[in-house]
Structure 1
Amino acid sequence: MTEPYVKIKIKNKVGYIEFFHPAHNSLPGDLLATLAQTISDAGNNDGIKVIVLQSGGNRTFCAGASFNELINIKDEATGKVFFSGFANVINAMRKCPKFIIGRVQGKTVGGGVGLAAATDFCMATKFAEIKLSELNVGIGPFVVGPAIERKIGLSGFSQIALDCNTFYSAEWAKQKGLFSKVFESTEELDAALTAFAENLRSYNPKAMTEMKTMFWRGTEDWDQLLIQRAKISGRLVLSEFTKEKLKGFK
């Protein structure tokens, strides 16, 4: 696999949405837009009862936003658009009327942690370490912060946001509530995930929609909130501190 993609496969009324990028499944703006639309479309598809969000490859679930796009931001407007990418995906997941199960097979960084947090039930392997590295380059996990804090609390969120050079184990993420279950291998993960998804899709879809609405109560302002957070990141990425930091990564 060398070409980036977002694709969906429907099997037994389960919609498997998969994204891939050769740069450790990082997500540039065009892929994020496609992912958000694919999630919205799946939510409106009567042939889908439950959604699984997964990525291609074996090593990394998601490395976050595209670094190549990050270093090319020259003004606040472009920065806002760039950081709105993950906001739009998280909001699509939040507003989707169907449960979204996350499949996290490997390490996930930054925005990828936000995607895992925005799923309704997340399953992972023991290799699925997490890290929020944004502060290291002079910005912060502003856009994904609400989703992560909702799942693991302010204490857990602040811990990984400040300790931005450390990968936290899958077991730590499970203890904090980000992951529901952790497995020894990808094979075990896939077997359990398939069984769980196909069992879940047998339930009353109206009941599941009502439950999802209940679970996400209190997030109704996220359309505005996450875009406001994107503006903050878009402004900070233009700071001299961040510009100097980014030079070191080129």
Structure 2
Amino acid sequence: MDYKTLKIEHRGASAWIWMSRPEVHNAFDETLIAELTAAFTTLDADPAVRAIVLAGEGKSFSAGADLNWMQRQGAAALEDNLTDARKLAGLFRAISMCSTPTIARVHGAALGGGMGLASASDICVASTKAQFATSEVRLGIIPAAIGPYVVRAIGERQAYRYFQTAERISAEQARHIGLAHEVAEPQELDARVQQVVDALLLGGPLAQAAATDLIRAVAHRPVDDEVAEDTAQRIATLRATPEAREGLAAFLGKRAPAWTQGHA
């Protein structure tokens, strides 16, 4: 697929999606939203892709919504406005529901929807120069589409502050509140992302997909009989798969499992 706002780079078993609107700090418009959704959906369906990295060209990761696009939507009929909002919500859901591990490589500004991209990804690795914000209230709107993912990343208590103040969040503070998993100097950012990719390639792909599905199933639920039974069903089912048998055989045989061939 030919993209107008993205560049796709394959690095071994990882695919890097580069947002390529540096002149507007990779701000969202209808084209970028549609192309990001398509790119994540397509790459997630490719068994040769074991990790997806999202990055931005230029000075910023993403400055959020393109203001010209926002103005167009604000002036549109309600149904058209709602259709566009649903597409934006669909983008974050597509990223969040990927079976393939996703990593946000964040440098510079990650504002509004840019912070949403970082939150919807499984893992966030940030430059020390990165800055985050849920800046929507300063424009008279709210971080609605990104809200579920940001709250999941930083917690309800922190969201009460940052959703209302729209303060800038430094990379170190982002790590402190749970948004960023790792912080690296700018010149070391790609190497640190690659280290995370390398770690991901050591895991079984079906197991990783099952692990993220497990998180969604048990998060914020009491450990009652239903949850306990569900976890038992999951491990019993997974243990019987060829991937699990290969993993156990490889461990006992003191060799690398088949899925790491060419990556280890």
TM-score between both structures, scaled by the size of structure 1: 0.81
Which residue matches 2:204? 204
Which residue matches 2:103? 101
Q: 1:149, 1:218 → 2: CA distance? A: 16
Q: Displacement, 1:4?
A: 5.3
Q: 2:25, 2:51 → 1: CA distance? A: 26
Show the 5 A alignment for 1:48-63: 48-57=49-58, 59-63=59-63
Q: 2:39, 2:217 → 1: CA distance? A: 23
Which residue matches 1:27? 28
Show the 5 A alignment for 1:21-170: 21=21, 22-57=23-58, 59-73=59-73, 74=75, 75-164=77-166, 166-170=167-171
Q: Displacement, 1:192?
A: 1.1
Q: Secondary structure at the match of 1:217?
A: helix
CA RMSD of aligned residues (A): 1.7
Which residue matches 2:253? none
Q: Displacement, 1:7?
A: 2.3
Higher relative contact order (CA 8 A, sep 6+): 1
Q: Displacement, 1:85?
A: 3.5
Q: Deviations over 1:120-146 (max 9, x none)?
A: 111001111111121122211111111
Q: 2:71, 2:120 → 1: CA distance? A: 26
- Contact preservation (8 Å) 1:5, 1:31: yes
Q: Deviations over 1:144-174 (max 9, x none)?
A: 111000010011112111112x211111111
Q: Displacement, 1:47?
A: 0.9
In the TM superposition, structure 1's runs of 4+ consecutive aligned residues that sit over 3 Å from their partners are: none
**Judging changes above 3 Å, is the alpha-carbon distance between structure 1 residues 41 and 218 closer, same or farther for their aligned structure 2 residues?**
farther
**Judging changes above 3 Å, is the alpha-carbon distance between structure 1 residues 5 and 129 closer, same or farther for their aligned structure 2 residues?**
same
Q: 2:217, 2:149 → 1: CA distance? A: 13
- Contact preservation (8 Å) 1:43, 1:98: yes
Is 37-46 or 72-81 further displaced after alignment? Answer: 72-81
Is 74-83 or 132-141 further displaced after alignment? Answer: 74-83
**Structure 1, unpaired ranges of 5+:** 220-250
Percent identical pairs in the alignment equals 28
Q: Secondary structure at the match of 2:24?
A: coil
**Structure 2, unpaired ranges of 5+:** 220-264
Q: Which amino acid aligns with 2:43?
A: A
Is 118-127 or 83-92 further displaced after alignment? Answer: 83-92
Q: 2:91, 2:177 → 1: CA distance? A: 23
Q: Deviations over 1:223-248 (max 9, x none)?
A: xxxxxxxxxxxxxxxxxxxxxxxxxx
